[in-house]
Each structure stands twice: as C-alpha cells, then as structure tokens.
Amino acid sequence: MYEVAISVREGAISSSTLLKRLRSGSWKNATYTAFREVGRVIRTVHLLRYLSDAPLRRRVTAATNKVEAFNGFSQWLGFGNRGVLADNDPVEQEKAMKFNALLTNAVIFHNALDIAEIVRQLLKEGWTIEPEESAHISPYLTEHINRFGEYSTHELGIQPEAYDPKLDVDFTQLREENLTSEGFGRAA
C-alpha cells in the first residue's frame, strides 16, 4: 500500500488508473484486498468511536435531522406527481431536480428574511433575543405558503426596500460554545 501511495505521489501511476484497477473488485488482486481491509478497519474504528462518544452521536443526530428536515421541506414544495419523475430523459430529470432545489432555496431565503424582520421588530419593541433562542428557529416554515397559488399582479410594479443584512443579536458566545463542543478548539 505504501508503494502504491508513493507511486501516486511521485506520478508513476495516475490516481485514475489506480482507481480503474481497483474498481474491478478482483479478490485475487492483493492491492484491492489490502485497500478493502483498510477500509473495513477505518469503518469499524468510526463505528466504535460513534458508539462510545455521546457528543459525537448528538452531533450526527442533529446533522441528520437537519438534512431530513431539508429533504422533507423540499419534497413538500415539489408536491406535483408525488415527487415521481415522470420523464425517463436524464436531462429532463436533472432539470426537475434543479428546479426543485432552486425553489426550495428561494423559499428558505424568503423565510430567513421574514424571520430576520420579525426579530428586528421584536428588538425595536424592547424584547431581548438570546442567541440560543434564535438557533432553534427553522427556515423550513410551510404554514404561510399556498402551494396552489394566489397570484396578485398589482404588486409587480412596487420596488422592494433594500435588504439590510445586519441583525443586532450577538452570536459570539453561541459560536464559541459550538466550536468547543464539536472539538475544533482542542488538539486532536
């Protein structure tokens, strides 16, 4: 394995050529077998670390929940045909998926703008907004969205106000706590 790594580093064999050879999956190939076993060891080490490290499990669960929330929100927005891609053309399938991703991100951005405006209004009214409270607000809100549309054209000529990205909430403490709890602040 060291010889293979050195060969790749020195340019004696390209990584793409190596991957082509390993992709064949021949159990008779000693290099393939060695890399497969190393992969199994790495996977086992990660699994054991996951099982023994409660903070890691919490971080993985939180990240998984965020991804699942995004996917659920995206699927809710792309409700037509129950999410089934009816076209067998890969180009049309890619267009449909990209359109859904664009729509999802646009609605998330709109929700984030609305949330920021509400926070600004609360701050003006004298409310104290703690960073921990803000961290629990999700941009995957659906209650105010009418998927079937209600289109008003009289507002098309109205110029929107310029967006102010400043939000008077100090997230420094929350960021420092997250960095410490995720292990970024300590030596590996």
Q: What is the pLDDT of residues 54-74, one digit of tens each?
A: 999 999 998 999 899 999 999
pLDDT for res 56: 94
- What does the buried/exposed string (b/e) look like for 12-36 if buried means 16 or more CB atoms within 10 Å of the residue's CB? eeeeeebeeeeeeeeeeeeebeeee
What residues in the chain have per-residue pLDDT under 70? 24-27, 82-83, 174-188
Overall domain count for the chain:
2
In a domain, 57, yes or no: no
Assess whether 96 and 154 both reside in one domain.
yes
Find the domain containing 4 and state its range. 1-52
What tens digit of pLDDT does each residue of 93-112 get?
888 889 989 999 999 999 99
Distance, in Å, from the CA atom of 35 to the CA atom of 12, rounded to the nearest integer, reads 19
Same domain, 69 and 43: no
| Residue 32 shares a structural domain with residue 76 | no
Q: What's the confidence (pLDDT) of residue 182?
A: 54
Whether residues 31 and 100 share a domain: the answer is no
Q: Is 0.85 topped by the overall pTM?
A: no
Q: Where are the beta strands (DSSP E) in 101-179?
A: none
103 occurs within a structural domain: yes
Is the domain of 36 the same as that of 110? no
Is residue 59 in a domain?
Answer: no
